[in-house]
């Protein structure tokens, strides 16, 4: 999925590509520490200014 996101190019629309990349590469995600409140618990790491 990271390869697909790296190759993704969209013009004229905003995407959440960087958010998805940060999610997939986060230590919590990679170690399986995921649940329905994943984004809330890791908001500071996943959301960057400009997203």
Is 8 inside a domain boundary?
no
Is 23 inside a domain boundary?
yes
Higher pLDDT, 51 or 37: 37
**Cα–Cα distance measured from residue 47 to residue 44, given in angstroms and rounded to the nearest whole number:** 6
Average pLDDT, the chain: 93
Is 4 inside a domain boundary?
no
Is 3 inside a domain boundary?
no
Total domains present in the chain: 1
Residue 49's pLDDT is: 63
Residues whose CB is less than 8 angstroms from the CB of residue 39 and which lie 6 or more positions away in sequence, other chains included: 23, 46
pLDDT of residue 21 exceeding 90, the answer is: yes
Residue 51's pLDDT is: 58
**Cα–Cα distance measured from residue 27 to residue 7, given in angstroms and rounded to the nearest whole number:** 22
Question: What is the mean predicted confidence (pLDDT) over 30-42?
Answer: 96
**Cα–Cα distance measured from residue 14 to residue 17, given in angstroms and rounded to the nearest whole number:** 9
Is 48 inside a domain boundary?
yes
- Expressed as residue numbers, the domain containing 36 is 15-51
pTM value is 0.82
Token code pair at residue 7: 């190759």
Is 51 inside a domain boundary?
yes
Residue 48's pLDDT is: 77
Residue 50's pLDDT is: 58
């Amino acid at each position: 999925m990271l390869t697909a996101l790296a190759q993704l190019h969209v013009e004229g629309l905003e995407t959440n590509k960087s958010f998805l990349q940060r999610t997939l590469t986060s230590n919590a995600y990679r170690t399986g520490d995921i649940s329905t409140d994943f984004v809330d618990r890791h908001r500071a790491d996943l959301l960057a200014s400009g997203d």
